[in-house]
Amino acid sequence: MTTFGNKKQALIDEEEIQLIIQYWIRILDIKLGWIQDFDKFVVKYVMLFFFFYLVQSKYVKCLFVVCYHCLKQAAFTLDIFCSSSKLLKTFTVHASRVNCIDTSTFDDGLYLSSGSDDNKVCVWDVDTGKKIQSFDGHLGPVYCVKFTRYHNHHRNTICSSSSDNTIRFWNIKDGKQLQEFNGHTEWVGGIEFSSFNGGRYLCSGSNDKTIRLWDIETSKSLHIFNGHTDTVWCVDFSPLQGNNNNDDNKSNIIGVIGGNGYTICSGSFDNTIRIWDIETSKNLIKIKGHKDWISGVKYGSNELRNTILSGSLDKSVCLWDIRSGQQIQVFNGHTSSVVTVEYSPFVINNIEASSSYNVICSGSTDNTIKFWDIRSNKSQLHIMKGNNEDDGIQCIKFLQVKRKKGKQKQ
């Protein structure tokens, strides 16, 4: 029942929220931090969004966004992102072209990893902007880097793939190599960790036209997925099943590796997307539609769990129904190759909050990042343009950091 008291409290809450947003827009011109006078408001409402994008050069750029977080509101509007985002840092990270980035939070810090044509993997403290570790064991360019969830139970680890045909694991603390996977006969592109069993399994795509499934615990290759007729550039695991969104979940013990019902999707230079059964390694669906190489594939989650988002060198972004293999939407607007796609954590104004978000984004060699409404294939909702020295957008990462009660800074 709505009462006068409820309405009055809602108005007070809204005023506090607006005050916080206006304050942070001003304070971002000065520094990143928590101001004690605002702590009693911030602790209730604020969610930090870090938006990293990699340009096709030696730079990684980080946008910092402050969005209000009400306990009853779990969604964030694109309008707030567009109005309050501000360039926080530019990382000049390598001596040569940077191919990939990933982000993670651990030990109360926010970290960025990067892989480059200089054969190195680097790890950065985002808050200080300082490089904390560098790994130079690869014998060729590094094409993909991932923080591992499985190793994080006992050590903070980076996984990387390279043109030297290997996948390697690195201990961030001591700078040593922990593991090396050999099996692919040509360079390795995209890698991804399983959504089930705490990320124990890794899939990888390669120029040898195959996908491999690896067991990190035993360092063994479990399955080889054959079917693509050209390079497999990108891969993804289907999302965690059920209502358990705990990354450390190990409760699924059905099937040989505990992956019953889970699938892998892959994007290839043969212009197709394929969906594979993890337990049997069978090709379940072959999706055709793009007219050029597939540069990115991403499974949706929650209400969008039956969708795959893809980008292609044909300049388009597509949304697919994985049950039928049919195209749901196509988004045209980029003037050059689309090289990265992501589901964003944002919704459109006036849309009720739910566990599903309706904004996707794409990065292109046309030096733009575009945001799209998945329910409509009309023109983009928002566009971000790179600087003149940027040579296209290579990678996009969103990272949400929740402000915890009692902490003075994040």
**Is 24 a member of any domain?**
no
Asked if residue 148 lies in contact with residue 216, where contact means CB atoms within 8 angstroms, the answer is yes
Q: What is the largest CA-CA distance in the chain?
A: 70
> Does residue 329 lie in a domain region?
yes
CATH number of the domain bearing residue 110:
2.130.10.10
Residue 34 lies in a domain: no
Closest CA to 61 of 299, 410, 387: 387
Residue 133 lies in a domain: yes
Residue 273 in any domain: the answer is yes
Q: Among 191, 197, 193, which Cα is nearest to 235's? A: 191
Residue with token string 């793939």: 161
Burial class (CB in 10 A: 0-12, 13-18, 19+), 67: buried
- Cα–Cα distances (Å) from 250 to 77, 241, 259, 260, in that order, read 33, 12, 11, 13
Q: pLDDT tens, 351-395?
A: 544 445 689 999 999 989 999 998 887 789 989 887 776 778 888
Distance CA 251, CA 248 (A): 9
Local structure of residue 153 (DSSP, 8 states): G
Sheet holding 368-373, edge to edge: 338-343, 359-364, 368-373, 382-385
Q: Is residue 191 part of a domain?
A: yes
pLDDT at residue number 347 = 81
Give the separation between CA 201 and CA 88, rounded to whole angstroms.
34
Neighbours of 318 (CB within 10 A): 25
Residue for token pair 């795509």: 205
The CA radius of gyration of the chain, in Å to the nearest whole number, is 21
Q: Which residues pair with 401 in a beta bridge?
A: 48
Model confidence over 89-147: pLDDT tens digits?
A: 777 768 888 888 898 888 888 888 999 999 999 998 888 888 999 999 999 999 999 99
Per-residue model confidence (pLDDT) at position 154: 60
Could you give the CA distance from residue 195 to residue 220 in angstroms, rounded to a whole number? Answer: 19
Contact 97, 56 (CB under 8 A): yes
For the sheet with 263-268, list strands across it.
232-237, 263-268, 272-277, 283-288
Show the domain range for 251.
48-402
Q: What is the dihedral of CA 379, 385, 391, 394, to 10 degrees?
A: -60
Would you state the structure tokens that stand for residue 319, as one six-digit string? 């949304």
Q: Which residue has the tokens 């779990």?
A: 74
What string of pLDDT tens digits covers the 410 residues of the chain? Answer: 544 444 444 444 555 555 555 544 444 443 444 444 443 333 343 444 456 665 655 555 555 444 333 333 445 778 877 777 777 777 776 888 888 889 888 888 888 899 999 999 999 888 888 899 999 999 999 999 999 877 655 678 999 999 999 999 999 988 999 999 999 999 999 999 998 888 899 999 999 999 999 999 999 999 999 999 999 999 999 998 764 444 444 444 445 555 678 999 999 999 999 999 998 999 999 999 999 999 999 999 878 889 999 999 999 999 999 999 999 999 999 999 999 999 988 887 655 444 456 899 999 999 899 999 988 877 899 898 877 767 788 888 887 665 444 443 33
Residue 236 lies in a domain: yes
Domain membership of residue 30 (yes or no) is: no
Which helix (DSSP H) or strand (DSSP E) does residue 287 occupy?
strand 283-288
**254 touches 210 (CB < 8 A):** no
User: What's at 146, amino acid-wise?
Assistant: K
Listed in sequence order, the DSSP H helices in 28-129 are 39-45, 78-84
Structurally, how many domains does the chain consist of? 1
